[in-house]
Structure 1
Amino acid sequence: MNKYLLILVWLLVPPLQADSFRPAADDSLALAAALPLTDRMVELLARLTSEPDKAATLEHATLELSGLYLQGARQPGFDDWFHEAEQWLDTLGNKSAGSINYLLLRADIQQQQHQFQAALQTLQAVLNKDPQHLSASLMAARVYLATAQHQAAQQACARLWQQDLFLFSVCSYEVAGRKGNWSSSYPALEQLYQRQTSIPPAIEIWVRGILAEQAEQLGQMRVAQQWLQPILSQAPTSLWLKWADLSLQLGEAERVFNKLSALQQHLGFADSLLVRLVMAEQQLTAEQHSASQPSFFAELAQRINVRIARGDSDHAADLAYYFLHIKPDAAAALHWAELNYQSAKEPDDLALLKQSKQAFTQSNKLTEAY
């Protein structure tokens, strides 16, 4: 298999044929409705369900199906596919659990659930079998970056040196930025990107995401937004979030609302994007001096209340954003931001923690004043 097709699964990017994961224009999908499958997924499901007693002999089909679910799960509205991927992976026995493909899929699910230490242990099992494994090295670098282990991330990038100089360079420039060297890593990465005559779509989305982050860290919000705009229709949820945050900072609430509300009504999506949708609607309401409540607020509030009631701390950043921007509660925002930062330590997580601390400090000053 082409190495770039392997890489795209592990870089938090959508599949190359992203359109095949979207419903037709005349479909009407509720949040809990079954999501559309590709022809290949339908074929694999038919094989696995028609001969359930022989499922143990269909390891390759099960692994492929789980991988396809993971690819689709990156896109807005398809978050439930992470659970589908995990359920199919769980059907495999101990014999399959030692294969490299199984371990890569398991590590991907673990990092998505913010089980970063477990993901690193699983990836180490891959590297024990193949010390120069390309996908395992790239995913390990991403996990190390998510937990602010920058030196370990660079060591993971270094394993790419003799295999793919371009990927090694991109990986290294991303690490350099995370170390704080934004002013040198950004122009170097931009020049590297501009010298490429042809980049697979999945890799281009990955590189543009890094360039957007680095431009943002340099205070170039408009430039950062422009890096994302051309690939937004194929972008994973993580880059949709970044685009929405940048656009809201640039005062483009109407643009965010129009895009996200259309997406929400067509597919339905996870709390993180719903938070941005309500933020955009709140800004528009304020600009229009309207006292009406945002139309998506009730759904978001219900989801947040359910998560709090069941003690759901996965992706706690959603809760911190909610109490920081939607229903201001500085103490609650700080609580969830601190909880989030215990596991995820990327620039956005640090910024969220700082904003929550500032809101908490200001809230205390106001309380003391009265």
Structure 2
Amino acid sequence: MRFDKLIFGLLLICPFAHAAPYIPASGSQVLEKLPSRNDPTQQASSRLRAQLSQNPDNLSVATRLARLYINTSRIDGDPRYLGHAQAALRPWWDLPRPPKEVLILRATILQSNHQFQQALADLDTVLESDRDNGQAWLTRATVMTVLGNYDEAGKSCARLFRLAADLVTQTCLANVGSLSGKASDSYLALSRALDSHPDTDAGVRIWAFTLLGEIAARLGDDVAAENHFREAMSLASPDGYLLGAYSDFLLDRDRPSEVAALLKSKGRNDALLLRYAIALKAQRSSLTDEQTEILRQRFAAASMRGDTIHQREQSRFELHLLGDPKAALQTAQRNWQVQKEPADLRVLLESAVAAKDKTAITQVMEWMQKTRLEDRTLKALLEKAKEKA
């Protein structure tokens, strides 16, 4: 499999922002800045759309356009592009066994929408006939990691050794290892891999540096974490996942003014708007209420649509901006049934502590013991909870 096709799916598990109705304060208020027609990505998508309109059954054009939309959704944090990607694949979308290229793209879109079991089914179908499909193994590793199935995630990463660039394989393995009792070893192995492969694609290096920043932060090495996040941001315009990870790092270190400056123009992305509003509240800004109301309307609209992919963000919203720990805990528990990343565990623990729910606190403790997750912040929260018990 060509390497350039392998890397496009990296980090698609990050939270995507759903656009929702908002009533502006005045007619002059800027709600959204649309991409320029001179933007190369917009020009490329326009050309492909024109070609596809002439021949909707052209698989090559359809998959190229879908990949472009998926990558744009990752960069901008705009889920509408996932809908555009699905529309490009419409002739094959509902087929039980569409072409392999469509199966992988469909799995990528499904996992981005938290339809993990359906995504795994598509990936397994691909791997039944093509055991050397690196993109399928990488996406499978991503899904298994989100589900907290680290044994299966590690096995999927290991299949990449002869199918992908070494840095892709090492980053995949380090991600799994850092969540299952091997954080220090994973950090060192990934650091060495980055040093050994300075010419690897920038997108992969951003992924690796971002992961190093997250691992270092969980281990309590703030200096290293900051350096890694800044290195990632220097390689290209940061996407929503990187901005969110770095913003969380800054918020945890009581640096809200930097978060506000970083995210001021990112309000189209719900996950980033949430962090912006939390930063504003920490500074006692007069803009807090306005941004909180925008988020409230967006979450209400998502609820009316039956959209549940933003439960992690909704729980943080309820806890940190609405001050409602019981509602936050209920949302966090529903979210935990779907996905089990460190951020999901953290909001579950924070809301459980705030709601004084010993059962939920014990649930977090048992998960950390089971997986051997190393996280300084979570450990400190658990210690405080024990002291208050």
TM, length-normalised to structure 1: 0.84
Deviations 1:266-288 (A, max 9, x none): xxx23211110100111111xxx
Q: Secondary structure at the match of 2:264?
A: helix
Q: Which residue of the partner structure matches residue 150 of structure 1?
A: 150
1:324 aligns with 2:301: no
Does 1:336 find its partner at 2:339?
no
Contact 1:86 1:109 in 2 (8 A): yes
State the partner residue of 1:270. Answer: 269
Q: CA deviation at 1:191?
A: 2.0
Shift of 1:312: 3.0
Counterpart residue number, 1:61: 61
Alignment of 1:1-370 (within 5 A): 2-3=2-3, 5-12=4-11, 30-31=31-32, 37-49=41-53, 51=54, 54-56=55-57, 58-92=58-92, 98-164=98-164, 165-232=166-233, 234-264=237-267, 269-285=268-284, 293-361=288-356
Aligned partners of 2:329, 2:134: CA distance in 1, in Å? 38
**Which residue number in structure 2 is paired with residue 18 of structure 1?**
none
Query: What's the counterpart of residue 376 of structure 2?
Result: none
Change (3 A) 1:172 1:273: same
**Structure 2 Cα separation of the partners of residues 319 and 94 of structure 1:** 31
Q: State which drifts further: 320-329 or 193-202.
A: 193-202
**Post-superposition shift, 1:221?**
3.3
Q: More deviation in 182-191 or 32-41?
A: 32-41
Query: How far apart are 1:306 and its partner, in Å?
Result: 2.6
User: 3-state SS of the aligned residue for 2:76?
Assistant: coil
**Alpha-carbon distance, 1:31 to partner:** 3.8
Deviating more after overlay: 329-338 vs 156-165? 156-165
Query: For residues 168-209 of structure 1, what are the alpha-carbon distances to aligned partners after superposition, in whole Å with 9 as ceiling and x for unaligned?
Result: 333222221111211221122112212223121111011112
Cα distance change of structure 1 residues 108 and 291 upon mapping to structure 2, 3 Å threshold:
closer
Note the aligned Cα RMSD (angstroms). 2.6
- Higher deviation after alignment, 32-41 or 320-329: 32-41
Whether contact under 8 Å (1:35, 1:78) holds in the other structure is no
The answer to whether the 8 A contact 2:66-2:85 is kept is yes
TM-score (structure 2 length as normaliser):
0.80
**Amino acid paired to 1:236:** D
Are 1:222 and 1:250, in contact at CA under 8 Å, matched by a contact in 2? no
Alpha-carbon spacing, 1:93–1:152, altered in 2? closer, same or farther (3 Å): closer
Shift of 1:62: 1.1
Secondary structure of 2:128's counterpart equals: helix
Displacement of 1:13: 6.5
Q: What is the CA-CA distance between 1:32 and the residue it aligns to?
A: 8.9
What amino acid maps onto 2:338 in structure 1? S
Unaligned ranges ≥5, structure 1: 15-27, 364-370
Aligned 8 A contact 1:333 1:356 in 2: yes
Alignment partner, residue 26 of structure 2: none
Contact between 2:92 and 2:98, CA under 8 Å: does it hold in 1? no
Once the 2 structures are TM-superposed, how far is the Cα of residue 231 of structure 1 from its aligned partner? 3.0
Distance 2:36 2:96 in 1: 28
The question of whether the paired residues in 1 share the 8 Å contact of 2:141 and 2:152 is answered with yes
Q: Deviations over 1:303-330 (max 9, x none)?
A: 2233344443222111101011111101
Q: Residues 150, 39 of structure 1: CA spacing in aligned structure 2 closer, same or farther, 3 A cutoff? A: same
**Does the Cα contact within 8 Å between 2:77 and 2:239 map onto a contact in 1?**
no
Distance 1:10 1:350 in 2: 24
Give 2:328's aligned amino acid. Answer: A
